[in-house]
Amino acid sequence: MKCKVCEREAENEYCELHEKAHRNILREYGVWKKASDVSWKQYLIEVAKNPHTGVWAKEVAESLISETK
Ligand SMILES: [Zn+2]
């Protein structure tokens, strides 16, 4: 199985580095949801365009945006 983002070999959907970033994104979303009514996609867009987002997280966010309606 290949990572959805970088095509590296992965055990699950993402390789180790992107999986780590993915988990951070999910955890952060829990925090955001409590503070505001942001939708999942809106949140991902914010993550992707935030200059402080790391490159791994940004790639995961962009991949999730493209698969989220
Ligand atoms: Zn990857």
For the residues 9-14, what does the mean pLDDT come to? 94
Residue 45 CA to ligand 1 centre (angstroms): 19
CA nearest 61: which of 21, 31, 3, 1? 21
Q: For residue 36, is it within any domain?
A: yes
Residue 13 CA to ligand 1 centre (angstroms): 9
Q: For residue 6, is it within any domain?
A: no
Q: For residue 10, is it within any domain?
A: no
Residue 54 CA to ligand 1 centre (angstroms): 13
What gap in Å lies between CA 51 and CA 34, rounded to an integer?
A: 23
* Residue 69: predicted pLDDT: 81
Q: For residue 40, is it within any domain?
A: yes
Q: For residue 32, is it within any domain?
A: yes
* Residue 15: predicted pLDDT: 97
Q: For residue 28, is it within any domain?
A: yes
| pLDDT tens-place string over residues 19-69 | 999 999 999 999 999 999 999 999 999 999 999 999 999 999 999 999 988
* Residue 38: predicted pLDDT: 94
Tally the domains of the chain: 1
pTM above 0.85, yes or no: yes
Q: For residue 31, is it within any domain?
A: yes
Domain that holds residue 45: 16-67
